[in-house]
Amino acid sequence: MRLIGLAVILSVSLILAPLAAEGQQAGKVPRVGVLLSNSQSSSSTNVEAFRQGLRERGYVEGQNIVIEYRYGDGQLDRLPQLATELVALKVDLIVTSGTPPTRAAQQATRTIPIVMTLVGDPIAAGFIASLAKPGGNITGLTQITGELGGKRLELLKEAFPRLSRVAVLFDPGSAAQEGIGTLRDTRMVAEALGVKLLSLELRGPTPDLEGAFRTATSERVGALLVAPGPATELHRKRVVDLGAKSRLPAMYGSSEFVDLGGLMSYGPNQADLFRRAATHVDKLLKGAKPADLPVEQPTKFDLVINLKTARALGLTIAPTVLMRADQVLE
């Protein structure tokens, strides 16, 4: 009888053991790393949008999800170390913003899932094989930067119909070739519009912004098109200030420049991309594989105009463009 009782106990234990393990696994609080190139203050809007997306999916930070934030504070050379720190913490996945953080995360791990945001051309960067089938440990959202260069030039031309010469400020060293892709796309549109382009390259961690603006002024360009990329993003305030000093109307790829005093911007709504990144995080935490989770494109684009800056520059923006603006800063 005692042998039979022992056998029953062993059998029940064997049955309950997997269930207990499953219960422990289900109760595990996921840990997510977030790697950003900018400072905490300058990233606050996008971070809050990401948190909102998580809340919409039932995640409450500090309760059923832990988020480890790492900010590069504009120093791109710090990103590899920060990515390594997140890997050492054994995070379940890493969320990145832009090409440099995504590159750092990719170099730090080939197994931990990575959810990228704000990357211009993830295929050219070598992050994914295709949008539909990423094929590795990286998925997320792209902001298709290159394809928007022509649209930005079209809006500039419509805003200022007499425009004939435009300088393009871009970063040829961008790993994802955002600047190059934008320039190539813009050239085709410029030819159709009869606009001549002047290419101004920004190289190195401390690009010669003053020199680029001096060249634009000496070449008597009528406007400036600032292509997205690490160099321009990290030096947003200087770019905007130099544009105002040179009295050049400028079109940017992000509304953050307009908030700092830039004239116009057209591009994907970054906060919306961060909010949508939470959907990828949710799917990955529930067992989806990044190799099979399609990379999504922007669905919301914003045209933002700073009328205060227009008045300071003595400019009149065409009414048709003002009517199309999603946001006008008075």
Cβ partners under 8 Å of residue 59, min gap 6: 65, 278, 282
pLDDT at 20 over 50: no
Write down all domains in the chain, each with its CATH number in brackets. Answer: 29-145+269-300 (3.40.50.2300), 146-268+302-329 (3.40.50.2300)
Task: Identify the pLDDT of residue 24.
Answer: 33
How many angstroms separate the first and last alpha carbons of the chain?
88
Q: What digits encode the pLDDT tens for the residues 235-270?
A: 889 999 999 999 999 999 889 899 999 999 999 999
Q: What digits encode the pLDDT tens for the residues 122-159?
A: 998 899 999 999 999 999 999 876 668 899 999 999 99
Task: Identify the pLDDT of residue 17.
Answer: 38
Q: What digits encode the pLDDT tens for the residues 32-46?
A: 999 999 899 989 999
Residue 147 burial class via C-beta count within 10 angstroms: exposed 0-12, middle 13-18, buried 19 and up:
middle
Angle at the Cα of 140 (from 128 to 81), degrees rounded to 5? 80
| Cα torsion 206, 207, 208, 214: sign | negative
pTM of the model: 0.83
Q: What digits encode the pLDDT tens for the residues 154-197?
A: 999 999 999 999 999 987 765 444 444 567 778 899 999 999 99
